[in-house]
Chains A and B, each alone.
Chain A
Amino acid sequence: MILLQANSSSISFALFFGTLGMLLLTIGLILFIIFHQRRVIRYQMQMQEMEAEQQKLLLKASIKLQEEERQRIAADLHDDAGPLLATARLYLTENLVNQDKAQQLQSIYNAKQIIDETIQLIRNISHSLMPPTLKNFGLESAVSDFFQKINNSGSLNVNCRFYDYRTRLKPEKELIIYRIVQELTNNILKHSKASFIHLTQHNNPDEMLIRLHHDGKGLTQEDFDKLNKSHVGLGLKNIKSRLKVVHGDILFEQDPSQSFFKVSIEIPKDEDEK
């Protein structure tokens, strides 16, 4: 209002500089938008590239895991089952009919023993692919069994506690969680020099929470992310890719008391698992 009541020369002055100011502001705004928008898009593209790189690493890890698993099965079949069956075949040659009865019985008995051994071997291979306890009795029993075996070695104290696992998750989801727990436990056994591992399970309405505590040398989330982006840490990449399948999340942290490390896994539930 003061400006509007001013005299003619000051009005011309205000008009000129006002217009100039508005023009500069507008040009500044348009330039800012152009450059800022390009920066935002460049940033988004970088993020997408990083994500694609991460996906590639995970895929590579997953393929490598599959290949290793296949090689292990192939080696087990070729090195163990193969010779056993070949030996059994030797006992059961055409010459068997020319042997006396006692020898025949002995050969058949030996062949039977070897075939039983082969059956057991194939069963073990099958169990390593899908533990029967997991299939028949669920995650709680499978993890308890697995921990019991470690406990029996007497090297460290391992225990687990499932607080609320009445409704079982889908079998494929249970297997993924079991594999993750296995991988994490193996990592702790191999690298951390822990004296105890304690696993707890809790149920939330929308997700299941599994937490592993140990008193060894553990990882923080920063270490985990770093290893995931590097070309080492295949096991951790497998954990990440497995979690991706079930849309889960994992958090590595050190307790504020600095006395132990914990790993928390969150698995969202499907509608029929709630």
Chain B
Amino acid sequence: LKWVCFFILLASILADVVSTILANFSASNLWVINLYILIDSLLVFYFYYWKFRYHKNVIITNGVLVMILLGSWVFHNLIAGQFHSIDSWTNGIETLSIIFFSILFFYGQLLRPQSFFVYSTALFWIVAGILLYKAGTFFLILYFDTLEQSEKANFGNLYIINSAFLFIRNIFFTIAFLISKPAINKKSHSKNVFQRP
């Protein structure tokens, strides 16, 4: 799962670099953000698929959400041709779903705590990072469609919100990487929703 986090980090860095370069050349960088949101959401969905893989209902919900996300992205960008805008509604729903999965993970921790210090596990920092980032950028994504054209073009002003939460999330991910202790105790209860095989 740390590899998934690594790819999420890599995607965010690449998106940052490319969008900054495009902005410097006065080119539209919205398609980069658009693509980044898709990749980031898919990776996070994969992360939660892996976490909840023994729970049929969660897996089905996860699958349906990924289908909706992909279908909507294809329709919005390729069929409707709005590659330079963000599909606020679909991304908003996906963000809410990811927030829901994160809360579900923490609920599992409450039901079956595995260590005295929950923050001593890498998994806690990863999920906290995901939750903070998605919660922080939820309104930004939701309201993006309603912003004035000038504001959209000047996305950089609002992008500070995204950057700030991205920064926090990446710090959390770094903490997760630095924690050497395995995220999951292999001897834990078999019914635990976060157990590894």
Contacts and interface: CB of A to CB of B under 8 A. Distances in A.
A30 B131 contact: yes
Interface string A26-66: 11011001101110110010000000000000000000000
Interface of A is mostly: helix
A121 B195 CA distance: 64
A258 interface: no
Interface in B125-148: 128, 131-132, 135-140, 142-143, 145-148
B103 interface: yes
A14 interface: yes
A27 B147 CA distance: 28
B148 A8 contact: yes
A169 B119 CA distance: 52
B6 to A, nearest CB: 23
A179 to B, nearest CB: 37
A5 interface: yes
B85 interface: no
B3 interface: no
B116 interface: yes
B119 A34 contact: yes
B161 interface: yes
Interface residues of B, number: 28
Nearest to B105: A33
A36 B139 contact: no
A33 B147 contact: no
B46 interface: no
B72 to A, nearest CB: 17
A19 B132 contact: no
A44 B189 CA distance: 15
Contacts of B115: 41
Contact of B116 (A4, A15, A23, A38): A38
Nearest to B128: A30
B109 interface: yes
Contact of A37 (B103, B109, B147, B158): B109
B19 to A, nearest CB: 20
Interface in A2-18: 4-6, 8, 11, 14-15, 18
Contacts of A44: 113
Interface of B: 103, 106, 109-110, 113, 115-119, 128, 131-132, 135-140, 142-143, 145-148, 151, 158, 161
9 contacts: A19-B139, A26-B131, A26-B132, A26-B136, A29-B131, A33-B109, A38-B116, A40-B110, A41-B113
